[in-house]
Amino acid sequence: MNNINPLISSLEDLIWAEDLAAMPWWKSIPLKGIRILYVIVRDLVQGQLTLRAMSLVFTTLLSLVPVIAVSFSVLKAFGVHNQVEPLLFGFLEPLGDKGVEVTNQIIGFVDNIKVGVLGAVGIAMLIYTAVSLIQKVEDTFNYTWHVQRSRSFATRFSSYLSVIIIGPVLVFSSLGVTATLMNTTFVQAVVAIEPFGSLYRAISLMIPYLLIIVAFTFTYVFIPNTSVKMSAALPAGVVAGVSWNIIGKFFAAFMVASTQYTAIYSGFAIVLLFMIWVYISWLVMLIGAGIAFYLQHPEYLLRDGRNFLLSNRMKERLSLWLFMLIGQRYYHDLPAWTVESLSKRLGAPSSTVADLLEIYVQNRLLSRTDAEPPGYLPARPLDKTTIKQVLDAVRCADEDAAFRGRMRSLPTEIDNVISGLEEATAVALEGRTVRDLVEVEAESFAEQPGSDSVVNSGSGARR
């Protein structure tokens, strides 16, 4: 073991020593991939990914039948409900013969759901259970993306229900249209000509991979309550989709060689193997979500993996800079900053910026726009927001009320020191407002109006 530790340390030095920005692209891209692999493995070892994947397995067991039932009822109206069973079997195909059995059981449960027997309350609970699965997935993705704020209940319900209802219809409709086009006389005549025939057969073999890649990519873009770039979601979807298909083949081979499980667990073996496969599927999806996050936020690619910790002094400086930028945009009638654009401008992690913004929203010094993602604007006139209020808000954030009460009995000497500091600060900042920062600082803006990373504030010039 003593000989291995220096080897691991040397390998880590090799991975993390050089600056990616100073390297040519043909060297920086592979090294960045190795660093992402490093932090993903570290996240797995720390246990949060596996813990959340296990939680999603339990939620899936509760919600799978309601989700399929809701989608099934809509698909039935379009006459394509018979495609649900083959799609479900495709997901459970690595289970082999057991997959057919599980598919038949689930479809049997769905067929036994009688709307007339359930009643209004039962139908409402059915829909809620179906929506709760995606809600649980969003919470997990928000954790991966360091997003503190979830969507509102109304937004969640409408968005998730539209995915459950409209999503399957679009998927099966597109598959049906594609199948119809491929069976036309013209397409068949083209396929008979080489090399189009070989190309068609190659594409047919790739379709299962392409479908799952599209599904993973869509999930990474839609589910997190933040703006996910396609340049991050698509590579993650490719890695997750290909990995899921490859792992499925290994799992199918494992199923063939695992007849002893049936002998040991008897009828319970099918449930156990089904849960293992669902767990693996969720774990692959969460790993892909982590890849997308690190691709979009390379500032989190750290060797030691620690969270970004700021001293009180750094928080104060960052807060004033943040207010100055927001005030400039507002004062000059420019689009409002978002968390993402502020993070890039300040060179700070998005989670740190989001935490500071949340402090000032709660203290009613800033307000959010209704756009998605939201922009941030001053909640009061710039000349009415004092610099001391900005500093006091971040200094007093996260104070425990009960513990603060105990601090009232400080020794007189300590109380005098603290009171003196506060009085000196009040005198030094007397009369100074955020507008002073905005007007004095003649900084050129890093982003121009109309950029994709900002949101229009829709307001006139301020004075």
CATH number at residue 344: 1.10.10.10
Q: Is 242 in the same domain as 371? A: no
Read off the pTM: 0.74
Domain boundaries, position 95: 46-300
Residue 319 in any domain: the answer is: yes
| Residue 189: Cβ-neighbour burial (10 angstroms; 0-12, 13-18, 19+) | exposed
Q: Is 316 in the same domain as 280? A: no
Q: Is 318 in the same domain as 295? A: no
Write out the E strands in 270-375: 366-368
**CA 9 from centre of chain:** 32
Q: Is 214 in the same domain as 350? A: no
Q: Is 73 in the same domain as 158? A: yes
Domain count, the chain: 2
Residue 458 in any domain: the answer is: no
Cα–Cα distance, 165 to 266 (Å, whole number): 37
Q: Is 433 in the same domain as 329? A: yes
pLDDT per residue rounded down to tens, the chain (463 residues): 455 567 767 777 777 777 777 778 788 888 888 889 888 988 888 888 899 999 889 888 888 777 777 777 766 665 555 666 777 777 777 777 777 777 777 777 776 665 555 556 666 776 777 777 778 888 899 888 888 777 777 777 777 766 666 666 666 665 565 666 666 676 677 767 777 677 767 777 777 778 888 888 988 988 888 888 999 999 999 999 999 988 988 888 877 766 666 555 566 777 888 888 899 999 999 999 999 999 988 878 877 765 667 788 888 999 999 999 999 888 888 889 998 889 888 888 888 888 899 999 999 999 998 887 789 999 999 889 999 999 999 888 877 666 666 666 667 788 788 888 888 988 888 888 888 888 765 444 444 444 444 444 444 445 4
Q: Is 214 in the same domain as 339? A: no
Q: Is 294 in the same domain as 341? A: no
C-beta of residue 388 within 8 angstroms of C-beta of residue 429 = yes
Reading the block at residue 290, the tokens are 């982590």
Q: Is 215 in the same domain as 183? A: yes
Q: Is 60 in the same domain as 174? A: yes
Q: Is 255 in the same domain as 349? A: no
Give the strand pairing for 366-368 and 376-378.
antiparallel
Q: Is 162 in the same domain as 240? A: yes
